[in-house]
Amino acid sequence: MSTIELLQKGGPVVWVLAGYSSIGLAIVLERYLLLLRQRRLPQALVQQLNRLLERTDAWDQVATLQGPEARVLQAIIEADRQGVSDLHNVAMRVCAQQRQHLDCGLPTLAILGSTAPLLGLLGTITGMIKAFMVIEAAGGKVDAQALAGGIWEAMITTGVGLAVAIPLVILLHFLEGSVARRAQSMQRCAALLLERRSSDTLQRDAQPHPLHWESVTDGL
């Protein structure tokens, strides 16, 4: 059976599923090409991230870099230059923004993959309803061959729905895994960049603070 015959026999549901397939394929290609274009940090820079904030040329080291990890580092270093004290909050916010950018389109792909089998089943049920309506109208005297032909034509939509959904779900999991790995990479780079800053903060917090007499006598 050719594609045109399949579309003709499957009816409007198969046309909708063909649209599902086209939209899903477009999303997969666009996200895949986007992930391919996202460059990673040079390994030499990653090895010195824990001391990068102490360097006077920290901004120059990351200013021309591209990719989500680079944008996280740029935001942290720029916030540090402006005197922002809570750099961890900056890192979390920028990581979330970059993750949202990488996730764009994946929820739509998930909807297409999960509803395609249901749409195919709906087409099959409506086709079966029409077949039994024909039987009723004929008073039960229906050619078995014609009935079988009507039933298998109704089953086409279920097969098409599964054929559309299975590749979409597989590709969705592949893309989600790639995005998750880049998100972990962003968090790891941010943690390395703030590693010494965090340890310095913990050391300051661990030091005993002088007790002032005003606080001791407060309320007496």
Sorted by where each begins, the domain ranges of the chain are: 3-199
Q: What is the pLDDT of residue 149?
A: 65
Q: What is the pLDDT of residue 142?
A: 66
Q: Which residues of 93-121 are buried (b: 16+ CB within 10 A; e: fewer)?
A: ebbeebbeebeebbeebeebbebbbebbe
Residues 6+ apart with CB under 8 A from 77: 52, 53, 58, 59, 62, 193
| Residue ranges in the chain whose pLDDT is less than 50 | 201-220
Residue 171: what residue type? Answer: L
Q: What is the pLDDT of residue 211?
A: 39
